[in-house]
Structure 1
Amino acid sequence: MDCHYEFLRMPFGMMNSGTTLTRAVKKLLCGMDNGQPNIVNWDDSQERAYNSLKVAVTSKPVLQFPDVNKRFVLRTDASDRGLGAALMQENEGTLFPVVYASKKLIDRERKYSVTEREALAIVWGVKKFSLYLYGTVFILQTDHGTLQFLNAAKFDSPRIMRWALALQVYNFDVQYIKGSENVGADYLSRIE
């Protein structure tokens, strides 16, 4: 199918449904104008594509409302360009996102070591979502093995030690996860 439609940036690039969404949008938009601007031909194939697009956008993972009675899970990640964080909660055995956030690194922060950038992502993520996390016990998941001991270890970096002290007002357990499981936060840390 010849089509002039394409995403400049995938709105759901971190999810598997992105390809489903792309196919549905292409089916919906391609061929509708018959080469004539501002004229749209809507038929059964566009209606089916529209309905599949609605399903793709509203299918899991969909943002959930936060439930203060459930434990939060914060996933953070850093790249050489930015930071990403995903605040999640479990619902019926599956982790669902509550809110996502990303931040572009400034020049000074880009010079930090990998461990310092990962620690910065944790501090930034905890502060970003402090409204949800302060006064609760939450799980902090990181794919940077060194930081799984953030609560107990002494670090050579004075910067990381200061950040670890700043986090002491929060009550959290640190869990190491594989980078392949940290999809949302990883994707958000790489957005330009």
Structure 2
Amino acid sequence: GEAMTLDTDWARRFEGVTGPLEAGGLAEERKGTLWDLFRELKDMGLNPDSKGYTGCFRVDCKTPESVEKIERVASDKAGLSGRGLAHAMNLGKYDFFPQVAGKGNTVKYLMDKWGLKPEECVAMFDDDNDLPMAEACGAGMLPGVTSESVRARLAHEPDWTLAEAAGSGVFATEELLQRLLKQVTAPIPGDGGVLKF
């Protein structure tokens, strides 16, 4: 297959926050407000993880004291925003990333780049950190639900579909991908290209 390359137009949007994505190196030595925050959290006694990440990092808090510290940082939205940063929570872990990045903004960028409308896009998701992506797309498919807030919202989102095999891992994902494939290969006449499940 063809090797993937970095979309430099996309990466340039947050280079001031992350430094050049291709620069690599230890988080402790990287330039940018994201890595300044990484070092600050480390100095607070937290354990931020940057292994395998170039434009974000994750903090897993295992003690009540560490949860209290990270919530203090995460709740300062104005402080994070002033540094060009945002955060999301996923399965009890805190992800910090450039404010202009994140799943929702990435989907919007790709839709614009490829000339797609929201109703031509589907998000596959299961948790709170995925909601900005789901909100950017015209439809949502859930192979499972990993948070109570997503479960509560599901009943009020007519364009979201929960797999019949929800919670069965790859089987639920396979079910949804088959439904999506059927829809795009045999669209309903007169639906204007809107994806419906």
Query: TM-score normalised to the size of structure 2?
Result: 0.25
More strand by share: 1
Structure with max Cα Rg: 1
Query: TM-score normalised to the size of structure 1?
Result: 0.25
**Structure ranking higher on relative contact order (CA contacts 8 Å, 6+ apart):** 1
